[in-house]
């Protein structure tokens, strides 16, 4: 199953990419609803696709997987983070880890 959630973060360096991500996230949510997941929410700020479990949506895992498979093409990069997004996340987490260690945790 593709990992959806923060993979569609807003691009500061390329506003058109951010717009495409947000548009894709909206289209993905609509598609999920059209494939039987009536409770699937719209994306959050910046086009972030909501992370919802089948249980939260009141559907079976197979129903969720079927809808996701039908709709994933609407999300940039198939819902997978780009190399740049992975590097950015890694950088932020390293800063966080240094801060935690510096403060005795």
Structural contact between residues 24 and 47, judged by C-beta atoms closer than 8 angstroms: yes
Q: What value does the mean pLDDT take over residues 20-36? A: 90
Q: Does residue 96 form part of some domain?
A: no
Q: What is the pLDDT of residues 1-13, one digit of tens each?
A: 444 544 444 445 5
**Burial status of residue 80 (CB atoms within 10 A of its CB: 0-12, 13-18, 19 or more):** middle
Residue 38 lies in a domain: yes
pLDDT band with cut points at 50, 70 and 90 for residue 22: confident
Q: Mean pLDDT of all residues in the chain?
A: 82
100: in domain: no
Asked if residue 87 is part of any domain, the answer here is no
- Specify the pLDDT at position 9: 42
Number of domains in the chain: 1
Whole-number pLDDT of residue 78: 74
> Within a domain: residue 102?
no
| 36: alpha, beta or left? (left if phi > 0; alpha if psi -120 to 50) | left
Give residue 104's pLDDT band: very low, low, confident or very high (50, 70, 90): confident
Q: Does residue 58 lie in a domain region?
A: yes
Whole domain around residue 76: which residue ranges? 6-80
Contacting residues for 25 by C-beta, under 8 A, at least 6 apart: 8, 43, 47, 48, 49, 75
Rounded to two decimals, the pTM is: 0.63
Q: For residue 98, is it within any domain?
A: no
């Amino acid at each position: 199953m593709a990992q959806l959630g923060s993979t569609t973060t807003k691009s500061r360096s390329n506003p058109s990419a951010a717009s495409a991500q947000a548009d894709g996230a909206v289209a993905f949510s609509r598609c999920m609803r059209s494939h039987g997941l009536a409770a699937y929410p719209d994306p959050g700020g910046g086009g972030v696709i909501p992370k919802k479990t089948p249980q939260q949506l009141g559907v079976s895992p197979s129903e969720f997987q079927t809808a996701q498979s039908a709709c994933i093409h609407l999300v940039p990069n198939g819902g997978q983070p780009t190399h740049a997004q992975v590097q950015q996340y890694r950088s932020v987490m390293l800063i966080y880890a240094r801060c935690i260690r510096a403060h005795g945790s």
